[in-house]
Structure 1
């Protein structure tokens, strides 16, 4: 939060203390939030630890509460020891959740007292950290420090460790002597005797076989329920799918991106085969989300889903990222495959799939006909293409005029377009709005991962044209036929009730 907001918050808490406010007697949950302060954005030697005096009023509030159940620290600073001490002293049974975990600076050496205190906190239940890498030439011990806390925490239940590249055209290369010194310092963060615990939820974008073995040293893998946002390696899938010691029998939620950096056909096939074995050894799943490499058939994966998870699955998302290459178009589910899902998954209430648009619109209507036969469907997400392959690499047979015609055939989504799709997919035996509660249309990739360097023209084109559309049925009993339409992207719009 900014300084003015901070002063207002402190003044409000002080008024509660002075007036013996009844708010304190009813408070069960506290969340501390704020925007990154300026000191975290600097990278010079003047960086110091944040001033802990601003937490004095909050410490006094904690001392006056009677029945605090949870404390969520989502502030973009390091969790101060004074707050930890207050929780341990006044609310030892409360549940602490750390969001946006950070350090004083990435190159802070081993032995930070605040990190040691957090690692040994009996209150800590969930630990979330998102790291932006490649931002400078300094040493970076964030991953090592994060893993140390996860291994030592006695009661941790949920871990989220994700990262992304900062992008840009500058590549930082450190001298060999500095790399050697960094490796020596990183070894100090290692834990000889991790504390075993029951982790229920794990979120880790890049995960490989070695990471799975490390997890097994302090996590009861047979108790893991949620595994999300993972981009697994081939050795991870082979280990988890074939070795009983690393099976995940309690898994209920799986969110995976099957993307490989290699362009070799054999390795892609190996990845799909290994994932099918892993999928057959897991579950029964209730929620499954898969992002598959573009132009790969869904048949082998879908057959495993229908055999092993059809009767338990409630949420299913099958998506391929739209490609910029004309010879690598994404493979959408066929109408027969969609019908198989409808007939085999009686519990399915949430579905997400790809539908590429056509000039005539007949293909989309055929999909809509099958979709409205999902009698239990409540939420539907459709990923529609923008035709970027025609913008990026038009074929030799395609003239410039044809390319512009193709792009022009994909106009911006407006309220009329949203209502047309809504009416098509929500019809039930001649009656609209009977079952479907929410429709989301994603026109273009909403969160495309791009590498370093200046974005290609087709990336810029996609970013300028992509849209997110939501049509939601009114929750008012006296307005059952009305819907709210919300559109993001394209021209600025406001909410509309139809």
Structure 2
């Protein structure tokens, strides 16, 4: 998209001037916010809140002293925009390192992404007097850039200005990045921002030094916390995480944690004010009955819950987890991911005999190697369990809803309005084929592990009446153009025929009459009553 001249925006500026009570203006175009629109706000709507979805500054000087070639008028406009009293929220994508300036928009203007992150930090905490919400999206050019030195160097365009020395009063800080947040970055935020007024905080990839620095912040007003944690196999790391969470959990309303380990005691995570709780990223812990009951006891106000539950062929333990969800009296919106655990690996040796020569009992014990000609491997019985656990259809989802609804009715809780069910874990099950190349057996299980959504009929007299529909299939890429089943040595096909013997004699799984297996429920307590 080419650079748009200021004249193009003047009709819109005239319209803005005529609006009598403009309170908020959202600008989501990729170009710089036009001077005529900024002038219209300053002159006619000085109290209007300006929200910029694609904020950038071309005149920031990077570490090498290279800056965009802007004339005096353009630089002055960027200074007015950066210090505008109308500026309320920004989303800012930029290069984290100090790379050379490239060209942008077909060589029409400098690339706004090649900006030194330290100058950005200085800007968002020092210049705009009424800036409240900051969403930064730094992208690293080099792997160790998060360890850059601080304090930041000054922005040349404002080096002659007297910047305010007061702490910034930001209410929302979000940082989306694919690298670790350093403790120095957290320290800059802490020293330049009045953290006691911060209400929303989103950070990713926090290691021990950053967590320890975060624990020093006075976050007494924080109500929404979203953090992503890396996988660390050290108990000491999770002790630091627990300590940091314990300092803020008592007043949180929304909490989302990616990568939460089972090493953390739930009492450090759960607070009495929680309404929304999301603990279901791909590498997070799984929740069993006792964990869910602890959520109900420590966070009784939870209305929206997202977590992972182990899939166990619908046995009594799995059903108990669904019953426990019914103990959350205010729960209305529930998303669960059923986790299919990879089967245990056996050290036994695979014989060369074909599976068709085996009696059923021997077939169950046969070992299929992870790597050709090498131990260990998976037993056929364990692979069969993985296939059964992966089979999730509308009937199973309806059964889950019924168990939860029955438990809610017994406890006098509000009705569950929405249930979303997905399946994961089978992608970790890999086998070898004849060419000694890894084949994802679990990808074939994905043909059975479909996402579903159950909605309650809001206009129905029966509060326990739901309709179930297929959900958004984010894993559809694994299901299209699937290689022949024989690529895994035919074992998936053999298991399908063993589990669902009435299936049509075809290798097209879509045409097979597969189905989920019923939960081990108790009709006396797991059947909802029509009301």
TM-score grouping bracket, smaller chain normalisation: 0.5 to 0.7
Name which of 285, 302, 305 aligns with 2:266. Answer: 302
- The correspondence of residues 201-216 of structure 1 with structure 2, limited to 5 A, is 201-205=172-176, 206-216=180-190
For the pair 1:77 / 2:3, whether they are aligned, the reply is no
SS in 2 for 1:98: strand
CA offset at residue 161 of structure 1?
1.2
- The correspondence of residues 112-123 of structure 1 with structure 2, limited to 5 A, is 112-123=75-86
CA offset at residue 255 of structure 1?
1.3
Which residue of structure 1 aligns with residue 307 of structure 2? 353
Going from structure 1 to structure 2, the CA distance change for 1:67 and 1:116 (only over 3 Å counts) comes to: same
Q: CA RMSD in A?
A: 4.2
For the pair 1:129 / 2:72, whether they are aligned, the reply is no
CA offset at residue 78 of structure 1?
2.1
Which residue of structure 1 aligns with residue 327 of structure 2? 373
Which residue of structure 2 aligns with residue 488 of structure 1? 472
Which residue of structure 2 aligns with residue 17 of structure 1? none
Which residue of structure 1 aligns with residue 279 of structure 2? 318
The answer as to whether partners of 2:327 and 2:411 remain within 8 angstroms in 1 is no
What's the CA shift string for 1:189-244, capped at 9, x where partnerless? 79775553321111124533212221234321111111124332311221232x4x
What's the CA shift string for 1:284-330, capped at 9, x where partnerless? 2222222225xx325x3312235xx2x222222223524xxxxxxx6
Which residue of structure 2 aligns with residue 281 of structure 1? 247
Going from structure 1 to structure 2, the CA distance change for 1:126 and 1:187 (only over 3 Å counts) comes to: closer
What's the CA shift string for 1:445-488, capped at 9, x where partnerless? 9xxxxxxxxxx976995998786543332443668534464511
The answer as to whether partners of 1:390 and 1:403 remain within 8 angstroms in 2 is yes
Which residue of structure 1 aligns with residue 194 of structure 2? 220
SS in 2 for 1:141: coil
Which residue of structure 2 aligns with residue 24 of structure 1? none
- The correspondence of residues 132-211 of structure 1 with structure 2, limited to 5 A, is 140-141=114-115, 143-144=117-118, 146-151=120-125, 152-163=127-138, 188=156, 196-205=167-176, 206-211=180-185
For the pair 1:234 / 2:208, whether they are aligned, the reply is yes
What's the CA shift string for 1:256-275, capped at 9, x where partnerless? 11215xx5x4xx32321112
The answer as to whether partners of 2:343 and 2:378 remain within 8 angstroms in 1 is no
For the pair 1:443 / 2:423, whether they are aligned, the reply is yes
The answer as to whether partners of 1:222 and 1:249 remain within 8 angstroms in 2 is yes
The answer as to whether partners of 1:472 and 1:483 remain within 8 angstroms in 2 is yes
SS in 2 for 1:352: strand
Name which of 356, 365, 388 aligns with 1:409. Answer: 388
SS in 1 for 2:221: coil
The answer as to whether partners of 1:78 and 1:101 remain within 8 angstroms in 2 is yes
Going from structure 1 to structure 2, the CA distance change for 1:253 and 1:434 (only over 3 Å counts) comes to: closer
The answer as to whether partners of 1:125 and 1:156 remain within 8 angstroms in 2 is yes
Going from structure 1 to structure 2, the CA distance change for 1:81 and 1:195 (only over 3 Å counts) comes to: farther
Name which of 453, 466, 471 aligns with 1:470. Answer: 453
C-alpha distance in structure 2 between counterparts of 1:457 and 1:187, whole Å? 53
What's the CA shift string for 1:5-39, capped at 9, x where partnerless? xxxxxxxxxxxxxxxxxxxxxxxxxxxxxxxx4x5
Rg comparison, structure with higher value: 2
C-alpha distance in structure 2 between counterparts of 1:63 and 1:372, whole Å? 54
C-alpha distance in structure 2 between counterparts of 1:51 and 1:117, whole Å? 18
TM-score normalized with structure 1 length: 0.68
SS in 2 for 1:290: strand
The answer as to whether partners of 2:289 and 2:324 remain within 8 angstroms in 1 is yes
For the pair 1:333 / 2:294, whether they are aligned, the reply is no
Larger mean CA deviation between 203-212 and 427-436 belongs to 427-436
Unaligned 5+ segments in structure 1 are 1-36, 40-48, 166-170, 174-179, 323-329, 446-455, 493-498
For the pair 1:94 / 2:48, whether they are aligned, the reply is yes
The answer as to whether partners of 1:388 and 1:462 remain within 8 angstroms in 2 is no
SS in 2 for 1:370: helix
The answer as to whether partners of 1:154 and 1:196 remain within 8 angstroms in 2 is no
What's the CA shift string for 1:149-176, capped at 9, x where partnerless? 31211101111113567xxxxx989xxx
The answer as to whether partners of 1:200 and 1:224 remain within 8 angstroms in 2 is yes
CA offset at residue 129 of structure 1?
2.5
Going from structure 1 to structure 2, the CA distance change for 1:484 and 1:384 (only over 3 Å counts) comes to: closer
Name which of 421, 424, 443 aligns with 2:400. Answer: 421
C-alpha distance in structure 2 between counterparts of 1:314 and 1:50, whole Å? 44
C-alpha distance in structure 1 between counterparts of 2:422 and 2:208, whole Å? 30
The answer as to whether partners of 1:353 and 1:383 remain within 8 angstroms in 2 is yes
What's the CA shift string for 1:32-89, capped at 9, x where partnerless? xxxxx4x5xxxxxxxxx33333322211211211111100111222222222122112
C-alpha distance in structure 1 between counterparts of 2:67 and 2:450, whole Å? 44
C-alpha distance in structure 2 between counterparts of 1:53 and 1:486, whole Å? 49
C-alpha distance in structure 2 between counterparts of 1:472 and 1:433, whole Å? 17
TM-score normalized with structure 2 length: 0.64
What's the CA shift string for 1:396-441, capped at 9, x where partnerless? 5544855764554355754434333322322233699951112122
SS in 2 for 1:150: helix
Which residue of structure 1 aligns with residue 525 of structure 2? none
The answer as to whether partners of 1:390 and 1:406 remain within 8 angstroms in 2 is no
Number of matched residues?
401
Unaligned 5+ segments in structure 2 are 103-113, 346-367, 426-437, 481-531
